Structure 1
């Protein structure tokens, strides 16, 4: 006779059907694909609409509103229903997308890109929040592996699709192509995702949202203008720095007192959650900096076309893809919360150091292959930080938690590319001025005479000098990325190892972590 007690069954949790997963994945794909498609078409768009001096704002407006809206969408989902918040964000994104395709001037395009960014802020965080609530911790790695596929696929496919549309169709279709994808995502989520309707007592912290938006705006302007539009020591940059500090300091104070804060301070009571945000910030800075300057090296030094230069960093993307698929499944088993980020930090250090081998005489296949290792390291870190964030947040805070990790990574990328971009520009200018003179350097860098197409018609001496300058600038970026990688590896040492979860009780533990203040209305379905 078997006297072993029967395990207590875990509480019922709504299933996440394949149709719902498909819709959520399409939303994430939209969020990551749009920027890659448009980036390829922007030179043509600006040439058609005019306003070259406002070129950067067509990108900045989108990134700014997306970053500012991300935590707000997460909180709206936590308070009023995650499925509804997600669907509304997709609708707003599609409205902005259609308006961008109809734009008749650069002013209109910038304004409509801002609208599009407001919707985009809810695509990633909305999908992750729904997944975080419906999927138990021991199964999240498998689902997040699927999410992790979206980023490298969009980084590779986006530029290729954008180039094809620009070359063979009208540039406006770089926006319109999002519409059928978005409509399919809406229908799939509406039909395939069923959540219990819920409403938490409380109101959105609009003061906190305003302060966070102001802080991000000032930070974005500072990162975009410092060292380029204005000198680092100018009063404009100093004023922006003061605005950043005051806005964010006031935001922290407001969040500590708000009944339903945008970013609940209780999340940071978890040591692992806090460390995951630090790691996310660092890996965002590393990834965005490397991805932005490797194609430039491939075009100026290796002589690749814009489309081919995107293909040449395919090993980096494949490394990210492989790492994210593998790490998600490994972390399902538990007990690897410390080992995985340590491994990712170590691999990223090795990968960034290997990029120092890139030079003017590096064979093209070797230059492409050298990007693989840093891609693996970044993929490990991105997947582990996301899973750690979700596993250390209660169900009621899932939207705020995923919004926080996405926002922190975005800010890290913006600051990383701004600071290391200044290093890149400085090293390039030093080489050009030292060999060609300051007048020639000014003419090449500020006069619009330095493009991959124009470089081919220059004399051999000038061409070799430019190649050396671009290589020197890339080395400055890579050294900065290597330093950030070392800091990442050191930070990962502070993460504590945790025992593997018991699958029989994991769901019960997650459900029990939801506070009683969540007034859940079971019927009808959301």
Structure 2
């Protein structure tokens, strides 16, 4: 029997939920903007400070520490309460911003980016954890739709805004623009998020598990810039460390993750696999498409960026559109359809590049965006509803961390595939086109694996009691 769930867009922007919606939008804005900041601002920082050989580490360290922070978010929420953790780690992010903005050498910029990543990783994860705490189930798809719009705006406005600030004022201004956003965010948290009692906690700090997660993520990041053999060894080492981190966590008295994280025997575990594999597949275009358009078709940076941003627009529009779906049976169809759209889109982008057909490439970009937009929100909602109330904080906080890990792993695997196929040495267009085939084939295969994970999650979700969220 299908179940309907009511929910209107006007509610999340109405008097009751607008303050909470604003907090979540600001939290996502900080994370999304800084994800796109480095490409526009850091080259100017290197020009002033030197250190071009370490510029990639500004993004790598941000990502690594964001994943570690996200892994620790549920623990910090229990120890400090939602308000304390959000305010405290937003201020950590602010400290990192100021360190980077006033840096006198690239080492200080790297330290600032690492501190930024730690703070924002926790804030982003806690914003996800607050969704089931402050919104009823019927409004959650609308919240995810709103977040998709924020990401689409950041995909356009992040590089453009940071570039404009860098060009008109200074690269330091691109960092300092975070300051008013953080102060508004902290003020809103004090106004809206209730003070929660801190859970008594006699356990020690889970340093070994966080260190293992961080080391595994660092190896993934190193694989993206290493030679093929070293990259393969780095990925094997990363897999061993990350599996060890999950194994250690399941046996700990005070866990960072839900007990069924990445288990194929539960809807939560299978859903997390899907949530990891989708961005792994999407990394092929995220990392290489803009560069390929400039290299193969002679596009300028702006034209290539606009073409690449078609995916973000399609993601946003499709996410908003499907947020009105009420029947659970239809939502499950959307979950299963998303990875297939992603796989089809990747194939079409490859065909478009190989045949120099812009319309084919654009259709592929639209399908990739729709693949994420149609299934992401309902995948997250299904995972949250399949989780018990006792584990919901850990499960919700793990979602953005898993997505970030998928982005990192996808970028590394894309680099390994492209390097092994000879892309860095390719000069002629025919050589470039030949070298990118393995990259897109691998990405499409990961999308198919995400489809099988989706089938497993949906099948198990039907047998799992639905733990809906009460009125916030």
User: What range describes the TM-score normalised by the shorter chain of this pair?
Assistant: 0.7 to 0.9
TM-score by length of 1: 0.79
For 2:230 and 2:368, the matched residues in 1 are separated by 34
Kept after mapping to 1: 8 A contact 2:128/2:400: no
Aligned to 1:82: 82
Q: How far is the alpha carbon of 1:294 from its aligned partner?
A: 0.8
Tell me whether 1:300 sits opposite 2:262 in the alignment.
no
Kept after mapping to 2: 8 A contact 1:165/1:173: yes
Deviations, residues 65-102 of structure 1 (Å, cap 9, x unaligned): 11111021222113431122112221111111111111
Runs of 4+ in 1 over 4 A off after TM superposition: 237-244, 266-270, 363-366, 497-503, 505-508
For 1:32 and 1:197, the matched residues in 2 are separated by 28
Tell me whether 1:324 sits opposite 2:286 in the alignment.
no
Kept after mapping to 2: 8 A contact 1:96/1:115: yes
For 1:303 and 1:502, the matched residues in 2 are separated by 54
Tell me whether 1:195 sits opposite 2:194 in the alignment.
yes
- CA RMSD in angstroms, aligned pairs only: 3.0
1:346 to 326, 340, 348: 340
Higher mean C-alpha displacement, 121-130 vs 110-119: 121-130
For 2:274 and 2:204, the matched residues in 1 are separated by 27
Q: How far is the alpha carbon of 1:131 from its aligned partner?
A: 1.8
Kept after mapping to 1: 8 A contact 2:345/2:363: no
For 1:335 and 1:195, the matched residues in 2 are separated by 35
Kept after mapping to 2: 8 A contact 1:90/1:182: yes
Aligned to 1:450: none
Aligned to 1:111: 111
- Which protein is richer in helix relative to its size? 2
SS at match of 2:120: helix
Aligned to 1:217: 214
Kept after mapping to 2: 8 A contact 1:215/1:244: no
Higher mean C-alpha displacement, 272-281 vs 480-489: 480-489
Q: Gapped runs of 5+ residues in structure 2? A: 1-14
Tell me whether 1:280 sits opposite 2:275 in the alignment.
yes
Q: How far is the alpha carbon of 1:26 from its aligned partner?
A: 0.8
Deviations, residues 388-422 of structure 1 (Å, cap 9, x unaligned): 22222334433311222222222222122111212
SS at match of 1:265: coil
For 2:465 and 2:229, the matched residues in 1 are separated by 53
Q: How far is the alpha carbon of 1:60 from its aligned partner?
A: 0.8
Higher mean C-alpha displacement, 277-286 vs 136-145: 136-145
Tell me whether 1:256 sits opposite 2:250 in the alignment.
yes
Aligned to 2:205: 206
Deviations, residues 267-293 of structure 1 (Å, cap 9, x unaligned): 668711111100011012122332111
For 2:169 and 2:380, the matched residues in 1 are separated by 38
Deviations, residues 153-173 of structure 1 (Å, cap 9, x unaligned): 212221111222222221111
For 2:241 and 2:96, the matched residues in 1 are separated by 32
Kept after mapping to 2: 8 A contact 1:219/1:241: no
For 1:54 and 1:430, the matched residues in 2 are separated by 19
For 2:241 and 2:309, the matched residues in 1 are separated by 42
Deviations, residues 238-290 of structure 1 (Å, cap 9, x unaligned): 588457525742x3444234332111315668711111100011012122332
TM-score by length of 2: 0.87
Q: Gapped runs of 5+ residues in structure 1? A: 1-14, 433-461, 512-526
1:32-431 correspondence to structure 2 within 5 Å: 32-191=32-191, 193-195=192-194, 197-203=196-202, 206-207=205-206, 210-226=207-223, 228-229=225-226, 232=229, 238=233, 241-242=236-237, 245=240, 248-249=243-244, 251-265=245-259, 271-330=266-325, 332-359=326-353, 362-364=356-358, 366-429=360-423
Q: How far is the alpha carbon of 1:498 from its aligned partner?
A: 5.9
User: Residues 195 and 498 (structure 1 numbering): CA distance in 2 closer, same or farther, change over 3 Å?
Assistant: same
User: Residues 498 and 488 (structure 1 numbering): CA distance in 2 closer, same or farther, change over 3 Å?
Assistant: closer
How many residues of Structure 1 are paired with residues of Structure 2 in the alignment?
A: 456
